[in-house]
Amino acid sequence: MKSFWPVRLASIVGVVALCFALDRAVLAAAPAQYRLLILASLFVILAVSLNLINGITGQFSIGHAAFAMIGAYTAGTLSKNPAFASMPHPQLLAVMTLLGALVAATFGFIVGLPSLRLRGDYLAIVTLGFGEIIRIVTNATESLGGSYGMPVAPKVQFLWWSLLLMVACIALCRNLLKTTHGLTFLAVREDEVAGLAMGVNVTMTKVVAFVIGAAFAGAAGAVLAHTEAFISPRTFPMEMSFIILTMVVLGGTGSITGSALAAVVLFAIPEYLRTLTDAQGKAYEMNAGLFMGILVAIMIAVAASKWIQTNVHEKGKKLGFYAGAWLAVIPLGFLFQTILHLSPTLKTLAFGIDILRYAVFAVVLIALMLLRPQGIFGHHEIGWHWFRKRPVPATEGGAA
Amino acid sequence: MMSGLPLWADLSFSVLPQQLVNGLLLGAIYALIALGYTMVYGVLRLINFAHGEVYMLGGYVALFISWQFGFTQDALMQNSTREGSLLLLGLMLIASMLICGFIGLLIEFLAYRPMRSQPRIAALITAIGVSLLLQYAGALFLPNSPPPSISEKVNPYRGEWRITLSQPSGESVAALAAAKATLDQRTREFDEQIKQERSKFDLSPAGVAIRDEKNRADQEFNKAQTVVNAQRSEIVLPRGQVVMFITSILLMLGLNLLVNFTKMGRAMRAASHDFDTASLMGINVNKVVTLTFFIGSALAGAGAMMNTTFLGTPMTTFSGVQPGVKAFVAAVLGGIGSIPGAVLGGLLMGMAETLVVWLGYGSYRDAVAFVILILVLLFRPGGIMGSAAVEKV
């Protein structure tokens, strides 16, 4: 334990230096991706903070975009104030992030309160309702720009800041789980009643989870507002909450690194699809028949995998079966396409690949739930211990 | 935002009965959708998020059938005398119900059945996924921009019934007639004057005086009109919507008979009471679940067909979300799992929505549902007709 503080300090300095270095490197090498990287890191923050509520504490919340929206509108409104507007940009961004987090945390407290009485799907629908109420009220409020949205000045794009925030969010969640306070979060997830019997303050834990999660979402929202310089209720639709939820679920509910990784992947895929263009600069189009054909083929593969999961127990055989089922998707997809092309409308109908993304998200979500409801990484973390020989005892409650 | 609460005096009480009736008509549709939520929740303890999308698809089924029978814009342009018939309406209703029922079955079989042994949250996420898939994959394939709506000619029951609740008093009618006469007089004088003027916008002093007189008479007339309107209170009932309401009630009564007086209904009630014990008692619970999904989805399909045909709502693939959420709230409000509760909740939801519009908060009409939901869950989680029993762990 002697080397704790020096190591900690050195790693903090190292991380800060790394963030700045990355910022410079991106500016020099790929300035076009600068904004996208900021957005990606913001989505990581959103996913990891939702993971704290959903995965680690087990309180099912699906209104996370609302907290980001609150943070964004706080920043948008307050940065108009001359006292703030005259600040240099880095300080302004820092102050706005803090204020956004603070206001969102207040709302997180308010939403956390019903979670004391509700659980499971009822809580889910209340958080969804809360998100919708926030969106509808903003939509109807003239002073916030109503449905037209509101411009945010100044436009501040700092990758280093969002990276630092992201690291702070991940570090906070990771370190929290190593403390007594953090263990209560896991206790609430695993068994509320047993936790209560062991002296865990369940009420407190739930509310704290909501407050921390909301605060980080609010901070991300505030940075988002200044990055995009424009916000409207349409920036934070109900789907955004679902996307963040998909990130958490895909990565593994309870796995911080998993949800961070899933956030990057799920953010990158649609952005990548958007940049795909053919030689004429037009977006790539996908034939409707092929899309439906592959969709049906995937559904069959999912069903087959489900069957393999329950009925085949030999490991090698299982892997072979899986590979076969998923490799068959492509020829099957084309086969179904040929059949579907008997209909003349489907033969001519096509749409841009980038607009398929929500449909793809939905398929991912369903397939994941059917095959691996705990997410890709489950409760496990990605880390150096993967490469060590000796299995490290799972301190994050991974054994559960 | 809140430009002051509406003053008591500003509210127009003469339109209140009409608003309540509108709320009742809307509520009947919500009740039909809510029945699906409540039945599925009762048996499986699952919030079927995709139910709103099944409803949306029902609207499209009705639309396509009406197109098939020549009620597209183009066809109507060529043959403007085309009229719907009871037969067509019946066909649309039955097709919507059957196809929605089968879609519901399919969703249950493909997405929910494998999840039955999983934690409830996993099933809920699957339901969200199915809902998103139907919305967005539907948006790719179904016509949605501009949003199509069923031609009003499909509905043979056009026209309306009027129920007069109170007539304006003789005095105010006389005052209105007098004001009208004065206004006509002044308008004539002004028209005479205009002929002598250079232009409408450049009046001589005499012309200005006459114009002012005319404007004053106009104001007087409007005032008298307001008085008469405030005293006259009547309910306008479009015939199509009455048909819609009666059909909804018949469907609900049919459901009631099915659930309470048939063997299958008894099995459904048993499964809803205790799923595991019911299966031990020799009830084929899979069959019960299948039937539950079929009936619930068919009712949603019926609601969608009637909503799009008689209320003329345009359709997009996202138009199932709001009714779905409101109907879910209605089910919770009435007590989830309780069939009469869902009907009552639906009717109350519809009326709450129109009352909010009546109060002048039209832009908040979609938020009402959630406010009601949160209040119900906080103060009476069992709903109006549900049991107040707390879920045990």
Report ipTM (2 d.p.). 0.84
Q: Find how far residue B134's CA is from the centre of its chain.
A: 21
Q: Could you tell me which residues come within 8 angstroms of residue B222 by beta carbon, excluding any fewer than 6 positions away?
A: none
pLDDT at residue B56 greater than cutoff 80? yes
Among candidate residues A227, A229, A181, A224, the one with its CA nearest the CA of residue A206: A181
Q: Is residue B391 part of a domain?
A: no
Q: Are the Cβ atoms of A114 and B128 closer than 8 angstroms?
A: no
Nearest chain A residue (CA) to B41: A121
pLDDT at residue B6 greater than cutoff 70? no
Q: Are the Cβ atoms of B136 and A114 closer than 8 angstroms?
A: no
Distance between B313 CA and the closest CA of chain A, angstroms? 21
The answer to whether A373 faces chain B, any CB pair under 8 Å, is yes
A242-275: pLDDT as tens digits? 889 888 988 888 889 999 999 999 898 888 877 7
Do residues B137 and B186 both lie within one domain?
A: no
Nearest chain B residue (CA) to A60: B121
Among the candidates B179, B211, B231, a domain finishes at B231
Q: Where are the domains of chain A?
A: 8-275, 285-386
Cα→Cα distances A308→A233, A317, B123, B126, Å: 44, 10, 20, 20
Q: Is residue B385 part of a domain?
A: no
Angstrom distance (rounded) from CA B30 to CA B28: 5
Mean predicted confidence (pLDDT) in B189-194: 82
Do residues B174 and B118 both lie within one domain?
A: no
Interface of A with B in 334-363 (CB under 8 A): 349, 351, 355-356, 358-359, 361-363
Tell me the whole-structure pTM to 2 decimals: 0.84
Do residues B359 and B255 both lie within one domain?
A: yes
Interface test with A, best of B113, B133, B359, B368 (most A CBs within 10 A): B133
Q: Find how far residue B211's CA is from the centre of its chain.
A: 46
Mean predicted confidence (pLDDT) in A329-341: 88
The answer to whether A371 faces chain B, any CB pair under 8 Å, is no
pLDDT at residue B389 greater than cutoff 70? no
Instruction: Give the 3-state secondary structure of residue A283.
Output: strand
pLDDT at residue A339 greater than cutoff 80? yes
Interface test with A, best of B370, B376, B380 (most A CBs within 10 A): B370
Q: Which of A239, A291, A365 sits opposite B125 (nearest CB)?
A: A365
Among the candidates B210, B231, B252, a domain finishes at B231
Residues of A in contact with B332 (CB under 8 A): 125
So what's the pLDDT on residue A347?
A: 81
Residues of B in contact with A371 (CB under 8 A): none
Interface test with B, best of A60, A111, A121 (most B CBs within 10 A): A121
Q: Is residue B393 part of a domain?
A: no
Name B166's bridge partners.
Answer: B233
Q: Is residue B2 part of a domain?
A: no
Rg over CA atoms, chain B: 27
pLDDT at residue B143 greater than cutoff 60? yes
Do residues B132 and B281 both lie within one domain?
A: yes
Nearest chain A residue (CA) to B362: A140
Among candidate residues A366, A370, A349, the one with its CA nearest the CA of residue A358: A366
Q: Is residue B387 part of a domain?
A: no
Q: Which of B1, B132, B393 sits opposite A141 (nearest CB)?
A: B1
Q: Are the Cβ atoms of A242 and B369 closer than 8 angstroms?
A: no
Cα→Cα distances B348→B24, B327, B332, B333, B368, Å: 8, 11, 12, 9, 12
Interface test with B, best of A73, A133, A295 (most B CBs within 10 A): A133
Q: Rounded to the nearest 10 degrees, how much is the dihedral formed by the CA atoms of B152, B157, B158, B159? A: -160
Q: Are the Cβ atoms of B125 and A361 closer than 8 angstroms?
A: no
Do residues B314 and B344 both lie within one domain?
A: yes
B258-297: pLDDT as tens digits? 999 999 999 999 998 888 899 899 899 999 999 999 999 9
Total domains in the fold of chain B = 2
A11-15, B72-76, B316-320: range with lowest mean pLDDT: B72-76
Among candidate residues A312, A323, A224, the one with its CA nearest the CA of residue A267: A224
Do residues B45 and B143 both lie within one domain?
A: yes
Do residues B177 and B73 both lie within one domain?
A: no
pLDDT confidence of B255, banded at 50, 70, 90?
Answer: very high
Instruction: Give the 3-state secondary structure of residue A351.
Output: strand
Q: Rounded to the nearest 10 degrees, how much is the dihedral formed by the CA atoms of B269, B270, B272, B276? A: -170
End-to-end Cα, chain A, rounded Å:
28
So what's the pLDDT on residue A392?
A: 53
Q: Is residue B14 part of a domain?
A: yes
Q: Are the Cβ atoms of B121 and A129 closer than 8 angstroms?
A: no
Do residues B112 and B154 both lie within one domain?
A: yes
Among the candidates B211, B231, B251, a domain finishes at B231
So what's the pLDDT on residue B287?
A: 92
The answer to whether A132 faces chain B, any CB pair under 8 Å, is yes
| Averaged pLDDT score across all residues of chain B | 86
pLDDT confidence of B58, banded at 50, 70, 90?
Answer: very high
Nearest chain B residue (CA) to A194: B393
Q: Rounded to the nearest 10 degrees, how much is the dihedral formed by the CA atoms of A180, A186, A192, A197? A: -30
pLDDT confidence of A363, banded at 50, 70, 90?
Answer: confident
Nearest chain A residue (CA) to B322: A132
A128-151: pLDDT as tens digits? 888 989 999 999 888 888 888 899
Among candidate residues B67, B332, B121, the one with its CA nearest the CA of residue A59: B121
Residue A237 identity (one-letter amino acid): P
Q: Provide the sign of the torsion angle of the four alpha carbons A147, A152, A157, A159, taken in this order.
A: negative
Nearest chain B residue (CA) to A133: B367
Do residues B346 and B324 both lie within one domain?
A: yes
A274-310: pLDDT as tens digits? 777 777 777 778 888 888 888 888 888 888 888 888 8
The answer to whether A295 faces chain B, any CB pair under 8 Å, is yes
Q: Which domain holds residue B176?
A: 168-231
Among candidate residues A195, A158, A213, A188, the one with its CA nearest the CA of residue A35: A158
Do residues B117 and B218 both lie within one domain?
A: no
Q: Where are the alpha helices (DSSP H) in chain B?
A: 16-44, 51-68, 73-78, 86-107, 120-141, 170-196, 205-231, 239-261, 263-273, 275-280, 285-310, 321-334, 339-358, 365-379
Q: Could you tell me which residues come within 8 angstroms of residue B230 by beta carbon, excluding any fewer than 6 positions away?
A: B12, B13, B14
Whose tokens are 């639309």? That residue is B63
CATH code for the domain in which residue B63 is found: 1.10.3470
Mean predicted confidence (pLDDT) in A390-397: 53
Distance between A160 CA and the closest CA of chain B, angstroms? 34
pLDDT confidence of B390, banded at 50, 70, 90?
Answer: very low
Do residues B213 and B292 both lie within one domain?
A: no
Distance between B115 CA and the closest CA of chain A, angstroms? 7
Q: Are the Cβ atoms of A362 and B373 closer than 8 angstroms?
A: no
pLDDT at residue A384 greater than cutoff 80? no
Return the number of other C-beta atoms located less than 10 Å from residue A353's C-beta: 18
Do residues B374 and B261 both lie within one domain?
A: yes
Mean predicted confidence (pLDDT) in B97-121: 89
CATH of domain A8-275: 1.10.3470
Q: Find how far residue B292's CA is from the centre of its chain.
A: 23
Q: Which of A192, A242, A366 sits opposite B126 (nearest CB)?
A: A366
pLDDT cut 90: percent of chain A above it:
28
Residues of B in contact with A345 (CB under 8 A): none
A18-67: pLDDT as tens digits? 999 999 998 888 888 889 999 999 999 999 999 999 888 888 888 899 99
Angstrom distance (rounded) from CA A4 to CA B78: 84
So what's the pLDDT on residue A391?
A: 53
